[in-house]
Amino acid sequence: MTTLREPPIRPEYVLPLRPAVAIPAAASISLDRFGWLRKPAILLALAVVWEVLARWFDNDLLLPGALQTGRAFVDGMLSGELIGYVSVSLAILGQGFLLGVAGSFLLTWLAVSNRFGRELIDTLTSMFNPLPAIALLPLALLWFGLGKGSLLMVLVHSVVWPLTLNASAGFRAVPETLRMAGRNYGLGGLRMVLQILIPAALPSILSGLKIGWAFAWRTLIAAELVFGSTSGQGGLGWYIFQSRNELFTDKVFAGLATVILIGLAIEHFVFQALERVTVRRWGMQR
């Protein structure tokens, strides 16, 4: 008969704590306090590189400097000429973007409602999402003529498909436990979508909105370049095209800088602010 042996008892011991290293007060300041300076510093560094390259080429017709472009931008703003072109572009962009968002949510509702709708939307997004919106401009001109209707058509196309793709993917990724919790509370139909599905899929929806906005903005500028060359009408894209015809290269760069600045402003003041008050506040995004 075997006897059970007691397990060995290891002696207890205490590890001495190492002395804490004193951290200087200056080094303890978090760099996050100066996070707002990062993007301006990057823009300033790019402007310096741009100015150096322009002075090295020494040809204002091919590459005006950052200072010369800045003067053209300020002059256009003070005279109101650049502001007028920007207001025309933003007005058309806002209408086309809102129409695209409305159409996308209708398609997404169809995709999440039943299996046939999901297969239909999957097929349509696979067909039309890779199709560049600017490629539809000749057809839009044929259908709607030289006017706002053609621009709205290409803008809606550039917004609908990426937003539908992201939103439907976000709805499908919602855990089944959340759906069951919503049904237990008596939610169904539109209330289920508004109170359960949309908050859970909001990161994907915001991503689709940002992609749709970027596609719409650059599609509008490209379409206005074509409109400018055919009918003499348009917004900021027409300003760039007209300045190129008149060999005002500094105005061309000023128009391009305006496109970039508007994109940065929309990203910071609209989308990042929306993320801070929603998905980041809820802990769904870092």
pLDDT in tens, 124-158: 888 888 888 888 888 888 888 777 888 899 999 99
Instruction: Share the mean pLDDT of the chain.
Output: 82
103: pLDDT strictly greater than 70: yes
Question: Among 102, 125, 86, which residue's Cα sits nearest to residue 217?
Answer: 86
> Cβ(88)–Cβ(81) under 8 Å?
no
d(CA 11, CA 201): 55
Q: For helices 81-113 and 148-172, what crossing angle results, to 10°? A: 40
Residues 73-79, mean pLDDT to the nearest whole number: 90
43: pLDDT strictly greater than 90: no
If one looks up domain 68-282 in CATH, what number appears?
1.10.3720.10
Above pLDDT 70, what percent of the chain?
A: 88
- pLDDT for the residue numbered 28: 44
Above pLDDT 90, what percent of the chain?
A: 20
| Residue range 243-274, pLDDT digits in tens | 888 888 899 999 999 999 998 899 888 888 88
d(CA 182, CA 110): 20
Question: Among 134, 136, 150, which residue's Cα sits nearest to residue 92?
Answer: 150
The domain spans of the chain are 68-282
- pLDDT for the residue numbered 283: 66
Tokens at 76, concatenated: 């256009």
pLDDT level of residue 115 (50, 70, 90 thresholds) = confident
